[in-house]
């Protein structure tokens, strides 16, 4: 739970110190008092001002920096905000934070607190906030594009359009109830509403049936390396990551835990998993490793089975969808295109091209997905179910049908954060770093 919502909050919003420049952000009703205490003089809205920042009591100079004044409501949080750009030394920033947090009703911000205020002051909806959080976490170009779109209101815009359509449809029912005794509601009007709700259901469903593209871009396309022990899985992980992540040894059954590395392939994030070799064993620890390996493969977007050229093994029945690559192609005759070896780094580019072709398949229209989190998907699935229920009840029980439309509209409202999400907020905002 947050401390007081009325406090003025401060935080270092830029990265790790020391750095060339550090940005300290202040938001709340005491911004002006803080600017005075630091001796910043007259502030002009949204204009950078170079000034000495002074100790409030001795007026000694702490640092010389730039201040920018954003009076509310035209600020990120909707409150009065002050940004200080100072030299990014630990002592400079430490002293400023110490002085500012010691002022009346002013304290250090909690994680995500600036964004939470922006949400609570109606500057952003929850989907935009989530997009912002993803933008800060984005490692690859596709993650950046997706997050930027969401932070810029792509999902919010659609949700709001859908919600107002639903409200219009429900308004019709109100009219229908009023006139129901007189039995003078033309059938054509009922039909028009049925059509509208059906069109909405179709529209929303088309976004739900997106092959989980948005979540995959956000979390990474999962590729599991599987195969018998000693088939060269860990060697391949190390070769693709270009780092010594996994222990490689000629002893069969070396890898037990699931290891992972993240790759950026043409802007799409890929998470590559190295897993325990699959074989019959009575060793409890190895058995647990094999279980984890199979669990990961079942949840992956692609499983690559390595079959050593000098000791070929077919995928086990649980992994019948796996794509087989022959490994250790330097040791024995191989056929076809799908072979690699990590000693001479042979075939690795072809393997990467194959992965690229899979990424292209899943991301074929090159368009940005709209749903990027399980939270979005489950609400939209519930919304679609309610729209279906509403249609089936429309001619037989208009009251229940209207109630289903309300349920559908609440699902959309929870997505944007306008309905009933208090318990969710702590979770969503805690994903943020301090200073955002």
Ligand X SMILES: Nc1nc2c(ncn2[C@@H]2O[C@H](COP(=O)(O)OP(=O)(O)OP(=O)(O)O)[C@@H](O)[C@H]2O)c(=O)[nH]1
Does residue 253 come out as left (phi exceeding 0), alpha (psi in the -120 to 50 range) or beta?
left
Q: Is 250 in the site for ligand X (CB under 6 A)?
A: yes
- Does position 232 bind ligand X by CB under 6 A? yes
Among Mg ion, ligand X, none, residue 434 binds (CB under 5-8 Å by kind): none
Q: Using CB under 5 A, which of the segments 116-124, 160-168, 219-227, 247-255 binds Mg ion? A: 247-255
Angle at 12 (CA atoms; ends 6, 17), nearest 5 degrees: 160
Per-residue binder mask for ligand X (CB under 6 A), 314-333, x = binder: -------------xx-xx--
Q: Which of 249, 314, 320, 364 binds ligand X (CB under 6 A)?
A: 249
Q: Does 260 bind ligand X (CB under 6 A)?
A: no
229 binds ligand X (CB under 6 A): yes
Size of the site for Mg ion (CB under 5 A): 4
Please tell me whether residue 77 binds Mg ion under the rule CB under 5 A.
no
Smallest separation, CB 220 to ligand X (Å): 21
Q: Is the Cβ of residue 218 or residue 233 nearer to Mg ion in the bound state?
A: 233
Q: Which of 234, 326, 372, 391 binds Mg ion (CB under 5 A)?
A: 234
Q: Vertex 391, ends 385 and 394: CA angle to 5°?
A: 135
Q: Per CB under 6 A, does 303 bind ligand X?
A: no
Told to check if 115 binds Mg ion by CB under 5 A, we report: no
Strands (E), 6-112: 8-12, 19-27, 49-54, 61-70, 81-88, 106-108
- Residue 146 is encoded by which pair of tokens? 């997706």
- Contact status: 357 vs ligand X (CB under 6 A): no
CA angle 410, 416, 418 (to 5 degrees): 60
Interface with ligand X, residue 255, by CB under 6 A: yes
Q: What does the angle CA 259 – CA 263 – CA 269 come to, to the nearest 5 degrees? A: 110
The DSSP secondary-structure symbol of 59 reads -
Q: Which residue's CB is nearer to ligand X, number 248 or number 387?
A: 248
3-state secondary structure 232-244: CHHHHHHHHHCCC
Q: Does 343 bind ligand X (CB under 6 A)?
A: yes
405 Cβ contact list (under 8 Å, min separation 6): 166, 169, 170, 173, 197, 386, 387, 390
Residues that bind Mg ion (CB under 5 A): 233-234, 254-255
């Amino acid at each position: 739970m947050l401390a007081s919502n009325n406090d003025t909050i401060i935080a270092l919003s830029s990265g790790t110190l020391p750095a060339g420049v550090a940005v300290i952000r202040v938001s709340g009703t005491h911004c002006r008092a803080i600017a005075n205490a630091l001796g910043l003089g007259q502030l002009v809205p949204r204009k950078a001002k170079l000034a000495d920042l002074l100790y409030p009591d001795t007026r000694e100079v702490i640092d010389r920096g730039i201040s920018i004044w954003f009076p509310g409501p035209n600020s990120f949080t909707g409150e009065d905000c002050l940004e200080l750009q100072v030299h990014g030394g630990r002592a400079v920033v430490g002293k400023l934070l110490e002085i500012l947090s010691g002022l009346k009703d002013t304290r250090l911000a909690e994680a995500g607190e600036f964004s939470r205020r922006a949400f609570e002051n109606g500057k952003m909806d929850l989907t935009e906030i989530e997009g912002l959080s993803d933008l800060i976490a984005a490692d690859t170009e596709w993650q950046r594009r997706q997050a930027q779109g969401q932070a810029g209101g792509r999902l919010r815009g659609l949700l709001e359009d859908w919600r107002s359509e639903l409200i219009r449809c429900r308004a019709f029912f109100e009219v229908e109830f009023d006139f129901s005794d007189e039995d003078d509601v033309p059938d054509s009007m009922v039909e028009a509403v049925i059509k509208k709700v059906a069109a909405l259901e179709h529209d929303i469903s088309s976004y739900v049936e997106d092959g989980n593209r948005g979540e995959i871009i956000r979390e990474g396309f999962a590729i599991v390396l599987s195969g018998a022990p000693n088939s060269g899985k860990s060697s391949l992980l190390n070769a693709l990551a270009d780092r010594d992540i996994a222990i490689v040894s000629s002893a069969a059954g070396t890898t037990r835990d699931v290891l992972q590395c993240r790759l950026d392939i043409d802007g799409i994030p890929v998470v590559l998993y190295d897993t325990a070799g699959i074989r019959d064993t009575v060793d409890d620890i190895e058995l647990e490793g094999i279980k984890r390996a199979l669990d990961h493969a079942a949840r992956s977007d692609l499983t690559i089975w390595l079959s050593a050229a000098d000791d070929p093994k077919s995928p086990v029945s649980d992994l019948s969808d796996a794509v087989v690559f022959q490994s250790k192609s330097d040791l024995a005759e191989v056929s076809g295109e799908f072979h690699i070896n990590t000693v001479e780094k042979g075939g690795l580019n072809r393997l990467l091209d194959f992965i690229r072709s899979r990424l292209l398949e899943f991301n074929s229209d090159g368009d940005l997905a709209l749903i990027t989190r399980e939270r979005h998907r489950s609400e939209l699935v519930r919304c679609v179910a309610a729209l279906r229920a509403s249609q089936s009840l429309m001619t037989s029980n208009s009251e229940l049908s209207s109630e289903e439309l309300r349920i559908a509209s609440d699902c959309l409202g929870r997505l944007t954060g306008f309905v009933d999400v208090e318990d969710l907020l702590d979770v969503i905002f805690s994903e943020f770093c301090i200073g955002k």
